[in-house]
Amino acid sequence: WLIPVLLTFMGLAILGASPSVASDKDAEIRDTILRQIEAFANNDEEQAWAHASEGIKRRFGSSQVFVDMVREAYPAVHNATAIEFTQRVPHGAFEIQVVRLQGPEGKRWDAYYRMVLTEGAWKVAGVRLQPAELGI
């Protein structure tokens, strides 16, 4: 059930991209994040691992340890039921992509993805979660 939702978001990200470099970067970063979330949803440890940065790979050592950590510490990432990209903030050597997630129990989270460009491909170098501000 999550896959059609993810594919819809992926399609929107690609269709909404203009030919500009910034839009290409947006689309590539969003695609990486969506593919990793999709891999978590499908319990595809190796594919989720493939989107992790070298720093993450050194820290966790194996795809199983990495996915187990995400499953336990980041259930909103591992079992996202809704995904909305908000803003991307450049930081020189890396980019922060803010993603609004809805976790498996309906709680909304802001996920701050640290993205790094490695050999021409965007990789996830870390995620910080905080409860989303819901407003009025």
Instruction: Give one DSSP letter per residue of 57-75, joined into a string.
Output: HHHH-SHHHHHHHHHHH-H
φ, ψ of residue 125 in degrees (nearest 5):
-105, 0
Q: What are the tens digits of pLDDT across the range 105-118? A: 899 999 999 999 99
Which 8-state DSSP code applies to residue 133?
P
CA distances from 13 to 27, 31, 59 (A): 6, 8, 31
Q: What are the tens digits of pLDDT across the range 8-59? A: 444 444 444 444 566 899 999 999 999 999 999 999 999 999 999 999 999 9
When the pLDDT of each residue in the chain is averaged and rounded to a whole number, the result is: 87
> Which position has the token pair 């950590």?
69
The pTM assigned to this predicted structure is 0.82
Residue 94 token pair: 């890396």
What's the CA gap between 61 and 18, in Å, rounded?
A: 38
**3-state DSSP helix/strand/coil % of the chain, to nearest 5:** 45, 30, 25
Q: What is the pLDDT of residue 133?
A: 83
